[in-house]
Amino acid sequence: MATAQNLRRQSARRHRVITVVACILLGALLAVPAVFVNDAIGYAPIIAYLVVLLLSFAYVRILRRSLAFEELGVGTECTRGETVGLKLLLKNTSILPAIRVQALFYMSDIFGGEGATDIHNITLGPRRERTFEFGIRFDHIGSYEVGIREVRVCDVFGIFSAVHENDRLTEVNVQPRVFDIDDLPITKDAAVEAKKSFTSVINDGMDYSGVREYRWGDPIKTIHWKLSSRLTAGEYLTRLYETNANPGMTVISDFDAPEYTAEELMGIYDAVVECSFSIERFAAANGFDAEFVFEDKAKRRRRFMAPFAGRHQEVLDRMPQIFSPGTGKDALAIIREEQNSQFGQSNLIVITSVLSQELMEALAAARVGKRVPVLFAIVPATIDDDKRKQIMARLHRLNASGVSYSVLSDAAELAEASR
């Protein structure tokens, strides 16, 4: 499918061909009098025509060098969904009027392609300038280039044109929205397991909590000799110490996706990132130990411990763009391996849009293995009803396994569902 930029180039190429053919035909027509009338009057039309062509060409070349760009008051960072004010200045520094100028305003997409363009036809007097103000809404997370991509200058007759490209576009970094979550959709058992609980152990190093009778295998150093001296000979007491244990959670963010449209893929990417960051905020606010795991752009496994305070950009930079069409095999491998990690032995949270039968089986197996898996299924709101029914039928099988899941098209739904 041809991009808008390719279509513009094809249109410009056709225009140049038509212009050249028209100029040749007009030149041939004006040369007829010179052939039949061999005097100054006969040559006057073709000479005048050639002079006009030369002046038009020189006019375009001078104006091209005389145009200057300047960007004023441009925000370089915003949150997804916000509108950024863009103010651009176009100057004509020559003494010639710019009668026919086309300014191409450009915004890239998160995949590095052409996101949106807008062409304005303008005129600029000698040594004049013109300011353009726009409000651009950024609906997806990522880094974007915005600004005047190029300016095309044409002569009065439209015979010649020249393009002045701007290689100093403004980069705008769009950050994810992070939502406050009151509670995660997990079972009551998971909520109890994830809270800090205190257990009495014989290993020293924490707060002393009491004693019990000595048992074979207890370390000699834990014997409470003072109290034991008061007992019958051969009876001993072992010190107990209070230690805290927090199973916490492992959060797996999957950046594989089925084959959707570009707009749907960007929506999936937003949902995965914002769900991850919102769960991190929940974990930090509620005292959970939480580990976040995902495959980066080079398919290297990355781990970040909550809280992300001061490291939001670092985490976001390590997160890849959406891989489509993706199989979700990387996420399956992480699920199987992380079940025995420090935090994965309790709560195992998976955020993905690849809702395969293998994933359902892996989550069910984790539940059988006394883990508490939670699935956040990212499903675009724009998919057709048949595809949605197939996905929901697959997810309903998790009910029998006792696996909690939520179907989301936007991370905001996660925050709303928790209230």
Per-residue pLDDT tens digits for 68-89 = 887 766 667 889 998 888 788 8
Mean pLDDT of 361-382: 88
- 């190429």: which residue's tokens? 13
> Of all helices (H) and strands (E), which one includes residue 79?
strand 77-79
Domains held by the chain: number: 3
3-state secondary structure of 196: coil
Contact 200, 240 (CB under 8 A): yes
3-state secondary structure of 174: strand
Q: Are residues 233 and 324 in the same domain?
A: no
Residue at 180 is within a domain: no
Contact 173, 83 (CB under 8 A): no
Residue 219, beta-bridge partner list? none
Q: Are residues 340 and 292 in the same domain?
A: yes
Select from 91, 265, 93, 83 the least CA-distant residue to 174. 83
The pLDDT value recorded for residue 249 is 83
> Of all helices (H) and strands (E), which one includes residue 272?
helix 262-285
CA max distance for the chain: 141
Whole-angstrom CA distances from 329 to 52, 111, 355, 358, 362 are 67, 23, 11, 9, 11
pLDDT of residue 266 exceeding 70: yes
pLDDT of residue 1 exceeding 70: no
Whole-angstrom CA distances from 80 to 22, 45, 77, 174, 207 are 50, 61, 10, 6, 47
Q: Mean pLDDT over all residues of the chain? A: 81
Residue 372, beta-bridge partner list? 347
**Cis peptide bond N-terminal to 325, omega within 30:** yes
**Could you tell me what percent of the chain has a pLDDT over 70?**
83
Q: Are residues 233 and 319 in the same domain?
A: no
Residue at 220 is within a domain: yes
Q: Are residues 269 and 290 in the same domain?
A: yes
The CATH number linked to 403 is 3.40.50.410
Mean pLDDT of 335-352: 76
Q: Are residues 260 and 228 in the same domain?
A: no
The pLDDT value recorded for residue 187 is 42
pTM passes above 0.85: no
Contact 185, 404 (CB under 8 A): yes
pLDDT of residue 272 exceeding 50: yes
The pLDDT value recorded for residue 198 is 37
Report the range out of 30-44, 272-286, 295-309, 320-334 with the highest average pLDDT: 272-286
The pLDDT value recorded for residue 17 is 79
Q: Are residues 253 and 240 in the same domain?
A: no
Mean pLDDT of 131-155: 85
- The whole domain housing 302 covers 188-194+248-417
Least confident of 100-114, 162-176, 284-298: 100-114
The CATH number linked to 32 is 2.60.40.10
Q: Are residues 154 and 11 in the same domain?
A: yes
Per-residue pLDDT tens digits for 193-248 = 444 333 444 444 455 567 777 766 566 777 877 777 777 777 887 876 554 445 57
Residue at 181 is within a domain: no
**Could you tell me what percent of the chain has a pLDDT over 90?**
21
pLDDT of residue 56 exceeding 70: yes
Per-residue pLDDT tens digits for 17-26 = 787 788 888 8
Q: Please, where are the H alpha helices in 286-369?
A: 312-318, 329-338, 357-368
Residue 293, φ and ψ in degrees, nearest 5: -130, 135
What is the pLDDT confidence band of residue 190, given thresholds at 50, 70 and 90?
very low
pLDDT of residue 351 exceeding 90: yes
Report the range out of 207-211, 274-278, 314-318, 333-337 with the highest average pLDDT: 274-278
Per-residue pLDDT tens digits for 108-139 = 776 666 666 778 888 889 999 988 887 888 88
**Which pair of tokens denotes residue 361?**
């089986």
